Chain A
Amino acid sequence: MSCCRELTHTILLHPSYFGAQLEDYLRQKLYEDVEGTCSGKHGYIISVITITDIGEGKIIPSTGQAKFKTTYTAIVMKPFKGEVVDGKVVNVNKMGFFAMVGPLQVFVSCHLTQAEMKFDPNSSPPCYRSNDEIIQKDTKVRMQIVGCRVEANDIFAIGTIKKDFMGQIKED
Chain B
Amino acid sequence: MSQQLSSDEIRKLCANLVYQVAYAFYDTPYIIILKLMVHDNVTTELELANKLGLTTPEVRKYMGTFGLHRLLRRHVNKEKVPIPEWRLKQLNAQAQAQASNNKPGGGQNGRERTKDVHYWYLDYREFADVVKYRLAMMRKDIDDKIKQEVGHRGYICPMDGRMYDPLDLSNVFDPFTNSFKCEDCSTELIEHDPTVSQNGVNTTAQDAMQRFNIATAPIRDALKAVESVNIPALNIVAWIAQNVKTSVAQKDGQMGDDADKRFEVVIGQEEDQEEKERLAQKQREQNALPHWYTHSTVTGQATTLGLADRKRREMLEERLRSRKVGEKDIEDESLAAHYEILGEGEVDGTAADGTEEDVPSGREGPAEAQAGLVEVKTEPEIVAGVLGVTEDEGDEEDDEDGMEDVTPIGAEAMEQGIPESGTGKTVMGE
Residues of chain A at the chain B interface (Cβ within 8 Å): 91, 93-95, 98, 105, 107, 109, 111, 146-149, 154, 156, 158
B166 touches A158 (CB 8 A): yes
Query: Does residue B235 face the partner (Cβ distance < 8 Å to A)?
Result: no
Query: Does residue B170 face the partner (Cβ distance < 8 Å to A)?
Result: yes
Query: Does residue B416 face the partner (Cβ distance < 8 Å to A)?
Result: no
B153 touches A146 (CB 8 A): no
Query: Does residue B1 face the partner (Cβ distance < 8 Å to A)?
Result: no
Task: Report the bound CA distance from A102 to B180 in whole Å.
Answer: 23
Residues of chain B at the chain A interface (Cβ within 8 Å): 150-151, 153, 155, 166-170, 173, 175, 178-180, 189, 191
Please name the residue on chain A nearest to B171 by beta carbon: A156
B178 touches A93 (CB 8 A): yes
Which residue of B153, B169, B173, B179 contacts A111 across the interface (Cβ within 8 Å)? B153
Q: Say yes or no: A147-B167 contact (C-beta < 8 A), given A91-B175, A93-B178, A95-B180.
A: yes
A95 touches B179 (CB 8 A): yes
Report 9 cross-chain contacts, Cβ distance below 8 Å, ordered by A residue: A91-B175, A93-B179, A94-B179, A95-B180, A109-B153, A147-B151, A147-B167, A148-B167, A158-B167
Instruction: Tell me which residues across on chain A come within 8 A of B166, comparing CB atoms.
Output: 107, 109, 147, 158
Instruction: Tell me which residues across on chain B come within 8 A of A111, comparing CB atoms.
Output: 150, 153, 191
A105 touches B180 (CB 8 A): no
Task: Report the bound CA distance from A148 to B167 in whole Å.
Answer: 7
Instruction: Tell me which residues across on chain A come within 8 A of B150, comparing CB atoms.
Output: 111
Instruction: Tell me which residues across on chain A come within 8 A of B170, comparing CB atoms.
Output: 105, 107, 149, 154, 156
Q: Say yes or no: A146-B175 contact (C-beta < 8 A), given A107-B169, A156-B167, A158-B167.
A: no
B206 to chain A, nearest CB (A): 12
B180 touches A146 (CB 8 A): no
A32 to chain B, nearest CB (A): 25
A95 touches B167 (CB 8 A): no
Task: Report the bound CA distance from A158 to B152 in whole Å.
Answer: 12
Task: Report the bound CA distance from A148 to B168 in whole Å.
Answer: 10
B168 to chain A, nearest CB (A): 8
Task: Report the bound CA distance from A111 to B150 in whole Å.
Answer: 9
B291 to chain A, nearest CB (A): 78
A-B interface, 8 closest residue pairs, ranked by CB to CB distance from nearest: A149-B167, A156-B170, A158-B166, A93-B178, A107-B169, A147-B167, A93-B179, A109-B166
**Other contacts beyond A95-B189, A95-B191, A98-B173: 17, CB < 8 A:** A93-B179, A94-B179, A95-B179, A107-B166, A109-B153, A109-B166, A111-B150, A111-B153, A146-B151, A147-B167, A148-B167, A149-B170, A156-B169, A156-B170, A158-B166, A158-B167, A158-B169
**Interface contact tally, CB-CB below 8 A:** 37
Task: Report the bound CA distance from A91 to B167 in whole Å.
Answer: 16
Task: Report the bound CA distance from A8 to B430 in whole Å.
Answer: 140
Please name the residue on chain B nearest to A126 by beta carbon: B178
Task: Report the bound CA distance from A158 to B151 in whole Å.
Answer: 11
B336 to chain A, nearest CB (A): 86
Task: Report the bound CA distance from A94 to B190 in whole Å.
Answer: 10
A43 to chain B, nearest CB (A): 16
Please name the residue on chain B nearest to A93 by beta carbon: B178
Instruction: Tell me which residues across on chain B come within 8 A of A109, comparing CB atoms.
Output: 153, 166
Task: Report the bound CA distance from A91 to B180 in whole Å.
Answer: 12
Instruction: Tell me which residues across on chain B come within 8 A of A147, comparing CB atoms.
Output: 151, 166-167
Instruction: Tell me which residues across on chain A come within 8 A of B168, comparing CB atoms.
Output: 149
Task: Report the bound CA distance from A109 to B169 in whole Å.
Answer: 10
Please name the residue on chain A nearest to B175 by beta carbon: A91
Task: Report the bound CA distance from A156 to B191 in whole Å.
Answer: 19
A62 to chain B, nearest CB (A): 39
Please name the residue on chain A nearest to B191 by beta carbon: A95
Instruction: Tell me which residues across on chain B come within 8 A of A146, comparing CB atoms.
Output: 151
Instruction: Tell me which residues across on chain B come within 8 A of A149, comparing CB atoms.
Output: 167-168, 170
Task: Report the bound CA distance from A154 to B167 in whole Å.
Answer: 12
Instruction: Tell me which residues across on chain A come within 8 A of B169, comparing CB atoms.
Output: 95, 107, 156, 158
Interface centre among A91, A95, A149, A158, by most chain B C-beta atoms within 10 angstroms, is A95
Q: Say yes or no: A91-B151 contact (C-beta < 8 A), given A105-B170, A107-B170, A156-B167.
A: no
Please name the residue on chain A nearest to B177 by beta carbon: A93
B173 to chain A, nearest CB (A): 8
Task: Report the bound CA distance from A95 to B164 in whole Å.
Answer: 13
B332 to chain A, nearest CB (A): 84
Instruction: Tell me which residues across on chain A come within 8 A of B155, comparing CB atoms.
Output: 95
Instruction: Tell me which residues across on chain B come within 8 A of A156, comparing CB atoms.
Output: 167, 169-170
Task: Report the bound CA distance from A109 to B175 in whole Å.
Answer: 16
Task: Report the bound CA distance from A36 to B155 in whole Å.
Answer: 30
Please name the residue on chain B nearest to A111 by beta carbon: B153
Task: Report the bound CA distance from A99 to B175 in whole Å.
Answer: 14
B359 to chain A, nearest CB (A): 98
Instruction: Tell me which residues across on chain A come within 8 A of B178, comparing CB atoms.
Output: 91, 93
A160 to chain B, nearest CB (A): 10
B394 to chain A, nearest CB (A): 98
Instruction: Tell me which residues across on chain B come within 8 A of A94, comparing CB atoms.
Output: 179
A155 to chain B, nearest CB (A): 9
Task: Report the bound CA distance from A154 to B175 in whole Å.
Answer: 18
Please name the residue on chain A nearest to B179 by beta carbon: A93
Please name the residue on chain B nearest to A146 by beta carbon: B151
B85 to chain A, nearest CB (A): 75
